[in-house]
Amino acid sequence: MELLLYRSYYSNAVNGELYMGEEFQCFTIELPWLNNQLLCSCIPEGRYALQKRWSPRHKWHLLVKGVPDRSLILLHPANNAQNELKGCIAPVTMLTGTGNGSGSRIAFEKLMAKIYPAMKTQTVFLTIKTKQP
């Protein structure tokens, strides 16, 4: 299974559109691109395998594997990139501004309902690209 994340870059955050094949799934929010700096930058564009992961803080969520010079990059619910993310990706139902959204838990649960079953039989990949105008 292949997820495609098309990013739009801004000085203080990144907004995205997440697709499964040709089908739109949700929007995303991330921190701005700051040369892949720990805890304050989104990750580089590329193709990454996803893995199901548990933590007491986020419960079940996804780990983005193989990020250059980074670890513990997650896909988890959050509605404000600056206040709730440290390099991770958050799905949101609606964008409310640059790096801000609403309905993150709803978007996350809908996405996981499709991804988790697929992970039983195949590797799920996330490809991140710049959105073309």
- Domain definitions of the chain by residue range: 2-130
Query: pTM of the prediction?
Result: 0.96
pLDDT in tens, the chain (133 residues): 999 999 999 999 999 999 999 999 999 999 999 999 999 999 999 999 999 999 999 899 999 999 999 999 999 999 999 999 999 999 999 999 999 999 999 999 999 999 999 999 999 999 999 998 7
Residue 22 is predicted with a pLDDT of 93
What's the farthest any 2 CA atoms get from each other in the chain?
40
Cβ–Cβ under 8 Å, residues 33 and 87: no
Q: Which residue has the tokens 């409310």?
A: 96
Q: State the burial class of residue 67 (Cβ atoms within 10 Å of its Cβ: 0-12, 13-18, 19+).
A: middle
The class of domain 2-130 in CATH terms is mainly beta
In b/e form, how buried is each residue of 1-39, taking b as 16+ CB within 10 angstroms? bebbbbbeeeeebbbbbbbbeeeebbbbbbbbbeeeeee
